[in-house]
Chains A and B, each alone.
Chain A
């Protein structure tokens, strides 16, 4: 039995919770399979997710349901312009009885963090969160605390309200593994949403997975086989965002101000592995790369003024790249 076959069998065994998780979430989240799948990809590849969508598309509910199904802690932080870093990470409080400062941990000490409307808070608060995301630890006073595992930040951005917002700098956006754009549900899904919301009995999410299974699955995801050809394919895609002319994409050269960072390549590889895991495969195929490519790259490509003037989006640029780069 080859390594891959063995891995396939292990994945078949260990990934059974994915179906359970999705089934449980579908009890309260009607439709939005794409979003649910991306949440699980983020969970399995230990990457944070930036959700973009107009209000009312069940972003908060999805994260809350995911936390309930995994039996993990969940904190929802509404970002506002007057929010302070201490409101997130915690602060030192003077204890009169002990006559000393004690640490009060902030809401960041949870497994799942929903940073709602992240672009409403000023840069210093965003930085405090992003530091925690990157380092997975928080320093209060002179003491450093490890954040719990799994630690997943799901931030939301509202694309239609730009008044009074502090857009995330490119370097900070880059720290989100995926940027998922959520669209409206279908007519059929919306019909179901109406029925479920009007009915008195709102389904309860059961705890179907434990944290240990998630951590175990994360290790298996990293073992998913990625052939050199796939690695080259990923590198070609990311390099095409940086040097389009080298890939005969001359018309993109004037539309892209900066391309994906090495973090883009790492995350594309990781997300592809996680996607392969969800699909019960022990190896990555080009389909996996293409399936997650938009979510990994859409926030990592900078557009020039020319592109903005012509209403060209990063989606179109990624499509053009995928249609040009030869599939192995």
Chain B
């Protein structure tokens, strides 16, 4: 009986030692290891916190964590964090390991060993954490059911914030580049327009001015009087065709007589002007291509008709009206007033020196009956 009591007593003492000294081998250095959760599912990650508490005079050699502990893998290791000031008597250092396991089962996490020295004492002391059991459970599988297809990779929603965070510099650079290109295009267009306007103002002369000048030259050259009848008619018809090209934008130099006359079929020009144009072009064709030699009066008539056609189709600004009714000027009427006047032919544009070639229709022409 006494033996039994003694045996119980011994067990009680051992249990007491175990309970009291569970966390440390020594009183002055305490090393602990603690899991956030001791039971995890396969593949789950769990934190393992290592803590060592020791007097400030001690020198601790921190145990280097392994990459794996059997089937347990260390995914991530934090830095060693020191709690407590240097001048305090006790220092606490912690480190957190993220661990996982990809097989189900019970895995013991072995004790972590910390070597330390007590101040100037050259002896090496050891402190160890306790061993911990990690239970890894698998997902329950109902084998009675059939195999299922592996699910596809799931799409996670991609938010604008995420996009912006990743690509903001590219986006900003792109916007700047687009703005730069637009600015460049606008600048070039403006520059081009300015050049175009300047060119037109400098180079382009009114079509009738050029035509009258050229007809005058033909007249002064006295070609038909010198026997150059074909050249005379070629020159007159060329001047008229060039005038049509400049005045109406018809490519008359590349069109035949029929095609030119067809172009004028539906244009609002005086019938008499059309007749005169027909006479000039058709007679010129006969002289140029059919060896026709018109009578001397026909030479003059052709030139006269050419002048007449130019005068009767000349673009000319409308004469300024002297007396204007008093009206209240609004923005709209001001805008209309600022526009260029409609362009019509007037008798005032015909010089006296060519009056001999004038027909009655042109002399009596008013702006209303001109096309």
Residues in chain A within 8 A of chain B (CB atoms)? 2-4, 225, 227, 229-230, 281-287, 290, 322-328
Q: Are A327 and B288 in contact (CB under 8 A)?
A: no
Check B14 for interface membership: any CB of A closer than 8 A: no
Q: Can you report 25 residue pairs joining A to B where beta carbons are below 8 Å apart?
A: A2-B291, A2-B292, A2-B293, A3-B291, A4-B290, A4-B291, A225-B291, A227-B288, A227-B290, A230-B289, A283-B290, A284-B289, A285-B289, A285-B290, A290-B256, A322-B254, A323-B251, A323-B254, A325-B254, A326-B254, A327-B253, A327-B254, A328-B234, A328-B288, A328-B289
**Which residues of B (63-121) have their CB < 8 Å from a CB of A?**
none
Q: Are B288 and A324 in contact (CB under 8 A)?
A: no
Check B257 for interface membership: any CB of A closer than 8 A: yes
Q: Which one of A322, A325, A328 has the greatest number of beta carbons of chain B within 10 Å?
A: A328
A-B contact count (CB 8 A): 50
Residues A287 and B291 in contact in the complex (CB < 8 Å), given A323-B251, A326-B253, A327-B253: no
Q: Which one of A283, A284, A324 has the greatest number of beta carbons of chain B within 10 Å?
A: A283
Q: Are B254 and A285 in contact (CB under 8 A)?
A: no
Q: Are B289 and A283 in contact (CB under 8 A)?
A: yes
Task: List the B residue with the shortest CB-CB distance to A226.
Answer: B289
Check B181 for interface membership: any CB of A closer than 8 A: no
Please name the 8 residue pairs, one residue from A and one from B, whose CB atoms are nearest each other, closest first. A283-B290, A286-B256, A287-B256, A227-B289, A4-B291, A285-B289, A326-B253, A4-B290
Contacting residues, chain B, for A286 (C-beta < 8 A): 256-257, 289
Q: Are A285 and B255 in contact (CB under 8 A)?
A: no
A287-B256, A323-B254 given; 4 more Cβ-contact pairs under 8 Å = A225-B291, A229-B289, A286-B256, A324-B254
A223 to chain B, nearest CB (A): 13
Contacting residues, chain A, for B259 (C-beta < 8 A): 287
Mask: chain B, 270-307; 1 = CB below 8 Å from A; 0 = not: 00000000000000010011111100000000000000
Contacting residues, chain A, for B293 (C-beta < 8 A): 2
Q: Complex formed: what's the CA distance from A316 to B227 in Å?
A: 42
Chain B's interface: helix, strand, loop or mixed, by majority?
A: helix
Q: Are B288 and A229 in contact (CB under 8 A)?
A: yes
Contacting residues, chain A, for B291 (C-beta < 8 A): 2-4, 225, 227, 283
Q: Are B289 and A282 in contact (CB under 8 A)?
A: no
B16 to chain A, nearest CB (A): 98
Q: Complex formed: what's the CA distance from A290 to B290 in Å?
A: 17
Q: Complex formed: what's the CA distance from A4 to B288 in Å?
A: 12
Contacting residues, chain A, for B289 (C-beta < 8 A): 225, 227, 229-230, 283-286, 328
Contacting residues, chain B, for A290 (C-beta < 8 A): 256
Q: Complex formed: what's the CA distance from A286 to B234 in Å?
A: 14
Q: Which one of B288, B290, B292, B293 has the greatest number of beta carbons of chain A within 10 Å?
A: B290
Q: Are A282 and B290 in contact (CB under 8 A)?
A: yes
B235 to chain A, nearest CB (A): 13
Check B258 for interface membership: any CB of A closer than 8 A: yes
Contacting residues, chain B, for A328 (C-beta < 8 A): 234, 288-289
